[in-house]
């Protein structure tokens, strides 16, 4: 099963061009795609069911709203790179950089549905109910073993230990809502989620 996933056409990394758009467009299109994580020869896969889009200037909730800093510089860089940062000094959060170089943008991956490698996820993040495994941005990074070392990983090449792949063409209902856990810019509908999924964060 694991190796088939890698070989399958649908599980090659999404190309740079996919990410070279505005973050809200990329965000909508990421619902239903697969996050593929390879570590120590094992493979862990989760289907994206919730994301949030972040712009640069003009988006008060974005790390990049006040221009470039050492931490957020990657948001201005090439599309398709992973932007992983530490939140509350505790959780690592996974974003993918969008847009053309020089223009800040990113999509935060907020929730996944476990697809493959579930035993590894449970080992990384022991939980009582499996719905708690990946139903939040900090949970999913823990379950997939993603940390600061994955910052700036190129997610557009198959050699990477972390990338996003096409996924299946299931029908899904994508809904938009305000983003979660922000104190500014709540009026914008930049959170997107698969309405039917139990793994969408509360």
Binding site for DNA (CB under 7 A): 52, 54, 61-63, 66, 69-72, 75, 83, 85-90, 93, 95, 106, 108, 179-183
Shortest spacing between CB 87 and DNA, in angstroms: 6
Minimum distance from residue 89 beta carbon to DNA (Å): 2
Q: Which is nearer to DNA, 11 or 142 (CB)?
A: 142
Kindly list the distances between the CA atom of residue 81 and the CA atoms of 76, 96, 126, 195, in Å, as whole numbers in the listed order. 10, 6, 29, 27
List 121's β-bridge partners, or say none.
Answer: none
* Shortest Å, Cβ 70 to DNA: 5
Which residue, 116 or 201, has its beta carbon nearer to DNA? Answer: 201
* CB nearer DNA, residue 108 or residue 146: 108
Q: How far is the CB of 108 from DNA (least distance, A)?
A: 3
Closer to DNA by CB, 2 or 87: give it: 87
């Amino acid at each position: 099963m694991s190796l088939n996933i890698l070989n399958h056409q649908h599980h090659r990394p999404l190309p740079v061009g996919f990410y070279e758009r505005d973050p809200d467009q990329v965000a909508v299109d990421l619902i239903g795609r697969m996050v593929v994580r390879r570590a120590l020869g094992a493979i862990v896969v989760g289907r994206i069911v919730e994301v949030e889009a972040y712009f640069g200037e003009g988006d008060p909730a974005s790390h990049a709203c006040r221009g470039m800093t050492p931490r957020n510089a990657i948001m201005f860089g090439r599309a398709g790179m992973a932007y992983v940062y530490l939140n509350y000094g505790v959780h690592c959060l996974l974003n993918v950089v969008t847009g053309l170089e020089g223009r800040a943008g990113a999509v935060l991956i907020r929730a996944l549905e476990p697809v493959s490698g579930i035993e590894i996820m449970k080992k990384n993040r022991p939980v009582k109910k499996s719905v708690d495994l990946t139903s939040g941005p900090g949970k999913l990074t823990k379950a997939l073993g993603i940390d600061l070392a994955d910052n700036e990983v190129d997610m557009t090449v198959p050699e990477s230990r972390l990338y996003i792949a096409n996924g299946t063409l299931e029908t899904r209902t994508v809904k938009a809502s305000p983003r979660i856990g922000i104190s500014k810019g709540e009026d914008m509908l930049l959170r997107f989620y698969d309405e039917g999924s139990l793994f969408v964060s509360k």
